Amino acid sequence: MVPVAVVGAGYVGLVTAACLSELGHRVTCIEVDETKVIALGAGDLPIHEPGLRELVWKNARDGHLQFTGDYERTRYAESVFIAVPTPSGDDGSADLSYVLQAMDSLVPHVQPGTIIVIKSTVPVGTGDGIARLQSVLNARIEVVSNPEFLRQGTAVHDFLHPDRVVIGAESAEAVERVARIYASLEAPIIAVDRRSAELAKYTANALLATRISFMNEISHIAAAVNADIDDVARIVGMDRRIGPAFLRSGLGWGGSCFPKDVLALSSAASSHGCYTPILQAVYEVNQLQGKHAAELLLEAISGIDDPIVAILGLAFKPNTDDVRGSPALGIAQQLVEEGIIVRAHDPFALVNAGLVLPDVEYREDAYSALDGADAVLLATEWEEYYDLDWILVRESMRGKTVVDGRNALNGVLLNELGFLYRSFGRAAQTNGNGSAPHAGTIDASTLGGTMQTNGNGAAPYEAAFGSPPGVSEAVAE
């Protein structure tokens, strides 16, 4: 048991505090928002995150987890985790004011030798900068970078079953002490310098965002040539060098991390004199996805008096009530500004969406949002939308366009029911289950023919079709 403190009871702080207490440590979670502290003390959580409430209740009841606004309590901690927000500043750079405020508040209280563990996503060099502060040197505090890789919706699982625990530190003793906190997890500990840990965090998020933007770009090509993006993603994802995750096209990425991290990395790069055309394109392509969805909806309602658009899903992804950076909100706002009535449903995010976008008509029930609509956009692939009774929906909608912003619905069925199904790069014949009706995985050994493989699982093109198109001409030139 290590006595630790976690500064910040936001999404990362709360998950960190709850999971560290679950690992057997005595955790004090410090939060400056007094209302939040009172609510948390009463077991009321400010966010919807599967499994978190149970962990908080259990560990608070057992006395392993406490919430307070009093920084003085950090004096009992051997390590203090900083998990405060680092939002985008006006120029896209990460705003470090919350991190610096937290440092100012805790430094007067902590004991010499305390380790400050920075969990917040901070630009490369922030840990070094904090370690060089005169107040930190005087207090003889160690500074360690320990980035989080938590996905909303599965954050508790991600914390307790990480792919790796990254500890960026400048002394072996600091690595050893932070590693001890995570000792009961089955995960490799990757000890590196602070700057590499900080850069790895940004790189991971930027690379995931890049995969999605890249596939979104390909999805437009797929649409233009009538290929199927789901099949393309499945095929490239089966390449072990590529892997299947984060290849799904649609409205693109949102949330509290990808948008700000891509911008912050690009901004930090430029302040170091580095040119980042890829990062800029990744961001741009993502914005185009929302615009494209809005265009499909506008096309569907053109010429209709007092058009109504229904939006299913407002959270930036399923299993969270978070609407930060949600593509659905940007699209809803654009439609509202064009005088269109927007009716929206989300199982968990209605309250949060209402705070940001008051001019949307929010409905507690998906069918009620769809009633009388001229077109519908599926913006978040909540499980309950897979089970909608589309025959009922067809009777109640005024129009027939379904824009599937997550390539998640059964397009063939919807077309058969008389809807006009619009997707992001799925072929017209798609069956909506991620593969065209004729496709699937065929075991070559069952074919009994002479299909040859080249050792990578693919038949040589020539064996089946002769020379690939264009090859003979190219050779001839």
As annotated, the active-site residues are 257
CA 287/CA 252 separation, integer angstroms: 8
> Taking CB under 6 A as the rule, does residue 202 contact ligand UDX?
no
- Tell me the site size for ligand UDX, rule CB under 6 A: 20
Per CB under 6 A, does 362 bind ligand UDX? Answer: no
Q: How many CB atoms are closer than 10 A to CB 31?
A: 23
Stretch that binds ligand UDX, among 84-92, 145-153, 291-299, 301-309 (CB under 6 A): 145-153
Smallest distance from ligand UDX to CB 317, Å? 4
The owner of tokens 């593969």 is 435
Helix %, strand %, coil % of the chain (to 5): 45, 15, 45
Query: Of the two residues 16 and 114, which places its CB atom closer to ligand UDX in the complex?
Result: 16
Closest CB 246 distance from ligand UDX, rounded Å? 4
Q: Of the ranges 66-74, 147-155, 336-344, 384-392, which one interacts with ligand UDX (CB under 6 A)?
A: 147-155
At its nearest, how many Å lie between ligand UDX and the CB of residue 388? 19
Instruction: Name the minimum Å distance from CB 116 to ligand UDX.
Output: 20
Phi then psi dihedrals of residue 311, to 5 deg? -120, 125
Among 127, 250, 307, 425, binds ligand UDX (CB under 6 A): 250
Contact by Cβ (8 Å): 403, 297 = yes
Binding mask 227-246 for ligand UDX (x = CB under 6 A): -------------------x
What is the rounded distance in angstroms from the CA atom of residue 311 to the CA atom of residue 175? 48
Q: Does the footprint of ligand UDX cover residue 149 (CB under 6 A)?
A: yes
From the number of C-beta atoms within 10 Å of its C-beta (0-12, 13-18, 19+), residue 131 rates as: middle
Among 58, 73, 75, 151, binds ligand UDX (CB under 6 A): 151
Residue 148 touching ligand UDX (CB under 6 A): yes
Cα four-point dihedral sign 332, 336, 338, 342: positive
- Among the listed residues 101, 15, 114, the one whose alpha carbon sits nearest the alpha carbon of residue 59: 15
182 contributes a contact to ligand UDX by CB under 6 A = no
Find the radius of gyration of the CA atoms of the chain. 25
* Binder among 81, 253, 283, 348 for ligand UDX (CB under 6 A): 253
The helix (run of H) or strand (run of E) holding residue 127 is helix 126-132
Residues 281-320 interacting with ligand UDX (rule: CB under 6 A) = 316-317
Helix axes 258-271 and 194-225, enclosed angle (nearest 10): 120
Among 60, 197, 229, 257, binds ligand UDX (CB under 6 A): 257
* Contacting residues toward ligand UDX, per CB under 6 A: 148-152, 205, 208, 212, 246-248, 250, 252-255, 257-258, 316-317
